[in-house]
Structure 1
Amino acid sequence: KEADLTAAVSQKIELGGKREIRMRRARAANEGARLHRDLVVRDLEVKTKKAFVRLLAAQREVDLASRAAKEMKNAARALREKVSKGASPEADSNRGELALELSGIRLQRAQSGLIIARQALLTLWNEDGYRKLKATGSLALASTNLPGLGELLKKVDAHPILGVEKAKVEEGSAAYALEKSRAVPDPTIGVGARHFNGIDESAFLISLSIPIPVADANQGNIRAAGARTNAARLSVRQTQLVLSERLRKAYQEYQSSCLEAKRFRNTVLPAARDSARSIRKGYRLGRFGVLDLLGALQVEIDSAQQAVEAVLSCRLSLIEIEGLTGDTYQSAASEMSREGEKS
């Protein structure tokens, strides 16, 4: 018996808008990827700004600790001289030595903090090794006209992370629609020709096949896709709440820390310096004791350090607000140097 020869082609005809739904899902995925890139860039910018301001603060703290250590060294020397002359008891010299030792510990701690701050910035620059860096700029409060909290909260909706979450909702919605469309069978149409070798004749063929979903209506996949879409919607809401809470916290910290920094600058620091200056002079004239002198010096040192911490908190809070809203409010410019600091 001679074999027949058949040649045919077939094409599945997608019903239920499957192709359009797949394209919609792909567009949502592409948009999510683009927004994720924007999110990474913004996050890196915020981290770099914060690391730079922390480096500025660390440099300032080392300067303050160095001056404090020098001040305590001079005070301890003066106390030793008075003790050697019999003008003060031995206990005064011991107190001076203790204060000098504590100032040395403070300086060592500040220097360690400076190394950590430098390394943090180098890591963000993708440098594995350690180099001495010098941040050029002022740690002073940045002059800015910050909008009210209500206006700032409106800007949170444009945050890239929310865009990523909303893109996931759109992608999940498309996936849900696609699973529903798969419940609609897709017919397959075929055309071809068959040659009957036995009788040397040919015939054209047309075929149509339609799958009949008897035991599987794709309900499981439909329910799963619907659950994932609902979870994505809840994630959007949760992310909105988290961003809003972060913004409220940063705004409150900005208000309180900046006010605190201004009080240190305008009132506390001048008073601490004047008090220390007067007590130094009075101590030399015999009007104050060693405890008064060391106490005044310690208040001056602590006030200067707390002032730096307040300014740092103010600047970091403002950077956080900028990262959450996507706007720039600082007008005080600073610069970063990648050059090694000369030893």
Structure 2
Amino acid sequence: MRGRSVFFLPALLFPALLLGAQQVPSTLSTVDDLVRAGIANNKDLAAVRERIAEAKGLTRQAGVRPAPVLGLDGATGKPLGTIGEEQYGAEYSQSIETFGKRGRRIRVAEFSVGIAEADFQQRSTQLAYEITAAYAEVSAERHKLKVLSDLIGLNQDTLRLTEARVKEGDVAPLEASLLKVEISRAEVSRRSAQGRLTSAELELRRLAGLDQTAPIPDSEIPAAAPTDLDTLKRQALENRSDLKTARLEEEQEAAGIELAKAEAKPDVTLSAGYTRQDNQFDGLFGYNSSGALSPLRDRDDILKFGVSIPLRTSRSGAGNVQAATARTSGARLRREYLERNIPLEVEAAYQRWRTAADSLQLLQSGVLDPSTNNLSVIREAYKLGQLRLLDVLNEQRRLVDTQLAYIDAQADAARTWAEVQRATGGIHP
């Protein structure tokens, strides 16, 4: 903008930085520092970050194999008066997952980690945009406050000289009265700017998580370096977190179809057991090893094996497969919708920025610079007695209005460029 600095959305942090713990600088001196502080201090964003750890835990759990089962059993007839009938045993069984269920389950869960990371990056990008836009508002109100304060100081100096000339009889008292009114008008505007600045600073502190004692940086922001529209559209299709999420969800649901098909197939359960049986034959006696007559008894040790397979048909998991297929179709449609609309969103934001940037340049070259020169000429003419003080005040008021409009145009250019950056998903340094 021909040497004038304008606000712009600072480069967003690398995805790795966004996904990791943020290093908050001890002294906040740039907008990037405010963004880092906001990402580190925001509790809602911290809750979103925990979803990444949750997804990793669920992925780990998805790889756990079925636990083996140990069973113990026994039977005796003593409590019912049946003596000599006893049976004891133990069985060990292990379920074996078939058709790659475990691998497919892990694959579906792994997509959840990427989705959680993309969601965190999207929230971080949005917060970075909000902080930058809020800082642009703070900077604009600071510039307005300075313009109005300088105007009041200039008019007060002029008033003192005018009052001295009134005492000397060189000028009419009306000129001093006009200056007092102008000073009061400027003071009203200054107080309004101060109120807006206080409100904007509170909003910025809220977004960045700063306390009341932390200073807000007052640094010059370099002019934006615009990229051509086609490049911005490509960056948006590569970097937009919501599009990354849609693509991951589509792949996850497609993997879910394979998982649903596999889960419809039966697993195999292998088992092995040992049983010991003691039986006594009523009314039958025999001689034992010592020659005494005793009831006949039978003791058996039995080792058994088994294979268990549920009898399922092709219709057993048809409903789950149908649901997974519908989810995949929905995810595909959402991905196609984003791929079609994101370039349009970028173009709309870019055109708004171009309009704001062109208006800013025209305001500077066609209005602000000529108004500054006009005021200098009118002041010289007033000193020579060719114009009235009212002419000077009117031109001065027009210049101040132009300066305030220029500051608003700067803030508008900042916000629209921030929208471009947000629409592209952030331009990484």
* Correspondence 1:304-323 to 2 at 5 A: 304-323=403-422
The alpha-carbon deviation at position 311 of structure 1 amounts to 2.2
- 1:197 match: 278
Aligned match for 1:46, one of 112, 129, 136: 129
Contact 1:6–1:193 (CA under 8 A) maintained in structure 2: yes
Q: What is the root-mean-square deviation in Å for CA atoms of aligned residues?
A: 3.3
Verify: 1:114 aligned to 2:197, yes or no: yes
**Deviation sequence 1:200-233 (CA, Å, 0-9, x none):** 2222222233323479723333333333332222
The match for 2:82 is none
The 8 Å contact of residues 142 and 315 in structure 1, kept in 2 or not, is answered as: no
Residue 257 of structure 2 aligns to which amino acid in structure 1?
Y
Aligned partner of residue 200 in structure 1, secondary structure: strand
Is structure 2 residue 246 aligned with structure 1 residue 154? no
Q: Which amino acid aligns with 1:326?
A: G
Matches within 5 A, 1:157-196: 157-159=237-239, 160-196=241-277
Q: Alignment partner for residue 133 of structure 1, among 204, 209, 215? A: 215
Query: Which of the residues 310, 326, 333 maps onto 2:426?
Result: 326
The one-letter amino acid paired with 2:104 is I
Correspondence for 1:282 among 360, 381, 385? 381
Tell me the secondary structure at the aligned position of residue 201 of structure 2.
helix
Q: Taking every aligned residue pair, what percent have the same amino acid on both sides?
A: 21
2:106 is equivalent to residue 7 of structure 1:
no
2:321 match? 222
CA distance in 2, matches of 1:249, 1:73: 47
Partner deviation per Cα, 1:279-321 (whole Å, 9 max, x = no partner): 2333455544565333311210111112222222323333443
**5+ unaligned residues in a row in structure 2: which ranges?**
1-76, 78-84, 280-297
3-state secondary structure, aligned to 1:4: strand
Q: Going by fraction, where is helix more abundant, 1 or 2?
A: 1
Displacement of 1:79 in angstroms is: 8.3
Deviation at 1:24, TM superposition (A): 0.4
Superimposed CA distance per residue, residues 110-166 of structure 1 (whole angstroms, 9 cap, x where no aligned partner)? 112221232233223323x43473533225x6162x331011101112223322222
Q: Does 1:27 align with 2:110?
A: yes
1:233 aligns to 2:315 (yes or no): no
2:267 and 2:137 map into 1 onto residues whose CA distance is: 62
CA contact 1:72–1:103 (8 Å) conserved in 2 = no
Q: What is the alpha-carbon distance in structure 1 between the residues aligned to residue 309 and residue 399 of structure 2?
A: 88
- What amino acid maps onto 1:193 in structure 2? Y
AA at the equivalent of 1:49? T
Shift of 1:47: 3.2
Structure 1's unaligned 5+ residue stretches are 330-343
Q: Measure the CA separation in 2 of the matches of 1:72 and 1:216.
A: 89
**Match of 1:185, SS?**
coil
Q: Secondary structure at the match of 1:197?
A: strand
Q: Residue type of the partner of 1:166? A: R
Q: Name the aligned partner's letter for residue 220 of structure 2.
A: S
Tell me: CA distance 1:133–1:243, structure 2 relative to 1, closer, same or farther (3 Å). Answer: farther
1:31–1:275 Cα change, 3 Å: same
Between the two proteins, the alignment pairs up a number of residues equal to: 325
TM-score by length of 2: 0.65
The separation in 2 between residues aligned to 1:294 and 1:153, in whole angstroms, is 49
| Alignment-derived partner of residue 258 in structure 1 | 357
* 1: CA distance, partners of 2:269 / 2:96: 6
Given that 1:53 and 1:316 are in contact with CA atoms closer than 8 Å, whether structure 2 keeps it comes out as: yes
Aligned pairs for 1:64-143 (under 5 A) are 64-71=147-154, 99-127=182-210, 129-131=211-213, 133-138=215-220, 142=223
Highest RCO, 1 vs 2 (Cα 8 Å, sep ≥ 6): 1
**TM-score (normalizing by structure 1):** 0.79
Q: Is the 8 A contact 2:162 2:171 kept in 1?
A: no
Counterpart residue identity of residue 248, structure 1 = E
AA at the equivalent of 1:197: D
Moved more, 215-224 or 194-203: 215-224
User: Secondary structure, in 3 states, of the residue corresponding to 2:86?
Assistant: coil
Structure 2 Cα separation of the partners of residues 65 and 154 of structure 1: 44
Shift of 1:72: 5.2
Write the distance in 2 (CA, Å) between the matches of 1:109 and 1:239: 43
Residue 101 of structure 2: aligned partner: 18
* In structure 2, distance between residues paired with 1:113 and 1:241: 40
Query: 1:8 corresponds to which letter in structure 2?
Result: E
For residues 68-115 of structure 1, the C-alpha deviation after alignment (integer angstroms, 9 at most, x for no partner) is 33455567778889999797696x887666544432232122112221
Matched, 1:206 2:305: yes
Q: How far off is 1:64 after superposition?
A: 1.1
